[in-house]
Amino acid sequence: MITAETVSSIRTFDGGGLPVVSLYARVDPGPDGQREVRTRVSSLLDGIRPLAKGGIAEREWRMSLRGDIDRIKSAVGQERWLPAAIAIFACSGRNLYTEIPLPENVPDRVIVDATPYARPMLAVLAQHPRSCVAVVDRASGRFCELYQDEMSELGQVKDPESRKPPIVAGRPDDRVSNKIDELAKRHYRRVAERLGELMQTGDFDLLIIGGHGYEIPDFVQQLPRPVHDRVAGTFSTEPGLVPLTEIRESAGAIAARYEQERDQQLVSGVLEKVAMGGLATVGLDGCLWAGTVGAIQTLLVRGGAAAPGVVCDQSRWLARSGEVCPLCGNPTRPTPDVIDELAQVVISEGGAIHHINSGGAGLVDHDIGADLRFRLPEPPAAGSDYGR
């Protein structure tokens, strides 16, 4: 699972003078996909191999790079990468080797630099919200991370003394129960503090809280404002007894609803901008042209949408049809899915892609829409006669 910790450790890693290899490769499903990715990764590695040979670079630098090339080479031989893509970050001289499976296609690429090249990975991961889940009662707090249906534990806070019942026979002792309330409050503060830290250091988009129905409101009220604002929902459960799978189910439903609402907002945001003549476009032609000129900030694609088209590998011109690129005059390459090519362009430009899966959030009559960085120039006229 891709944890917030892994992502943030890559984001902040520095080779300290040694080279960091960042490699991205598409992984198609099936045995053909595995064979094919091996060939493509080998040729990416061949491209950087000369850097590891003698020359200007220092020996330590070259040795580290050589170690990375060997390690990646042996990893690709094991044929175990999952579709749709893999990102690898390596710096053997500093003990870094991380493989991150990506749920989206990214362009094949290898980069040797002083720090990891994380932008395509971050662009792919941005579309799935990452949730911090806290299950809380008067004496305990349990923290988990939920990302794409997977849960992992992040730790606990325990204050058992605030659970003890008052040790009095007969009528309840007010002083004792006040004391217990005081301890519970202190415990809530500790849990809130820990949550504040987690939300600050992890890449969490939302916070989901579970516990006894009669205790949650008190706890949520105590949360500091910035943490409170991230609460996407709460669920009722029996802390201490509840298995992880059950937490996942309850929290997953809240995260899914959040994603759906966010989709709806993204879609209406784009449609409103288009209606007002703002920086947005809908429809395949507009989006392909926006991708060609690198104008897409956020691309919205209806889940499962695909369309045949053409690409110019020289100038990156994308269109539904055309044998010759109107920008540079080179022959185009036909592709079974030009939306996939567009998505790769958007990712490599640091834009984000959101798949709109919820039925209600329609892009009206379109499969695709985009938020733009700048106003689009006039597209080349259809059937433009380049070079004549």
Residue 317 is a binding residue for Zn ion (CB under 5 A): yes
Give the x/- contact pattern for Zn ion in 260-299, rule: CB under 5 A. ----------------------------------------
- How many binding residues for Zn ion (CB under 5 A)? 8
Q: Which stretch binds Zn ion (CB under 5 A): 189-197, 220-228, 304-312, 362-370?
A: 304-312
Residue in this structure with the two tokens 């204050």, named with its chain if needed: 159
Longest dimension (CA), the chain: 102
Residue 57 is a binding residue for Zn ion (CB under 5 A): no
Burial class (CB in 10 A: 0-12, 13-18, 19+), 338: buried
Residue 319 is a binding residue for Zn ion (CB under 5 A): no
Please state, in angstroms and rounded to a whole number, the distance separating the CA atoms of residues 26 and 341. 12
58: Cα separation from own chain's centroid? 36
DSSP secondary structure, 14-29, as one string: --TTS-EEEEEEE--S
Shorter beta-carbon distance to Zn ion: residue 287 or 325: 325
Number of H helices, E strands in the chain: 10, 16
Using CB under 5 A, pick the residue from 146, 312, 324, 370 that binds Zn ion.
312
Q: Which stretch binds Zn ion (CB under 5 A): 53-61, 99-107, 226-234, 305-313?
A: 305-313
Please state, in angstroms and rounded to a whole number, the distance separating the CA atoms of residues 349 and 76. 27
Using CB under 5 A, pick the residue from 163, 327, 373, 376 that binds Zn ion.
327
Residue 315 is a binding residue for Zn ion (CB under 5 A): yes
Residue type, 121: M
Please state, in angstroms and rounded to a whole number, the distance separating the CA atoms of residues 129 and 34. 29
Q: Which stretch binds Zn ion (CB under 5 A): 150-158, 204-212, 229-237, 307-315?
A: 307-315
Using CB under 5 A, pick the residue from 328, 350, 364, 377 that binds Zn ion.
328
Please state, in angstroms and rounded to a whole number, the distance separating the CA atoms of residues 302 and 361. 9
Residue 379 is a binding residue for Zn ion (CB under 5 A): no
The DSSP letter of residue 240 is T
The least CB distance from residue 318 to Zn ion, in Å, is: 10
- Residues binding Zn ion (CB under 5 A): 312, 314-315, 317, 325, 327-328, 330
